[in-house]
Amino acid sequence: MSEPRDLPVCIIGDSFVAGYGDETGRGWTALLVEAAADEDLHLHATVAGIGGDTSEMMLARWDEVDRRRAAFPTTAVIAEFGVNDVMHVAGAEPGVEVERVDEQGTVAALRGMIDRAPRGRFLVVGPPPVLWDEVNARTVARAEAIASVCAEAGVPFVPTFDALRPGGAWMREVAVGDGAHPGPGGYAQFAETITRPVLDWLRALPDAEPG
């Protein structure tokens, strides 16, 4: 058994980080904190999820992370994003739709996050599937681009799409909800998917302030 440990964590992202659709108000972030506590890892979590946020919008509000780290320099940062980037909106030409953020924009925003995140204390959680096949196809491609940048920068990347897409509570609850957000059962499946690699990463972080 590991020694009990306290660790500040800032989790920034979109509506999935905020736990939209979960009437209990917990989402996967609370389940992650609970799972950590069961292993004597006490996470002091700041959850900064905003519905509809793209990667570029997250980078634009990165001062939320900076303020947390100013108060607690050893804060670990977890980011989840991607689905909103690939959603279509009306383009400049009539009748033409474009992605809210193209791949180049997502990559640039992620690199900006990496530049501003604490060295060695930043992890990215990949985007999950939604109900619509065309959105999922774009999400898969965008997740691959995100994973590639993370690998290049030495940032851990924890995928979710393949684990959640085949079925289970996530897709069942997404289908009966708004097409994107599940209820508590779906978020429990999400948490089960990411908890072990995330907790292993958190446990391995040094106690000293990052240099």
Q: What is the pLDDT of residue 33?
A: 98
Domains (ranges, CATH) in the chain? 5-200 (3.40.50.1110)
Q: What is the pLDDT of residue 2?
A: 62
pLDDT at 208 over 90: no
pLDDT at 82 over 70: yes
For residue 59, the Cα-to-chain-centroid distance in whole angstroms is: 13
For strand 122-125 and strand 76-80, is the pairing parallel, antiparallel, or unpaired?
A: parallel
pLDDT at 177 over 90: yes
* DSSP for 21-48, written as a single string: T-TTS-HHHHHHHHHHHHTTEEEEEEEE
Q: What is the pLDDT of residue 93?
A: 76
pLDDT at 128 over 90: yes
What single DSSP character describes residue 206? -
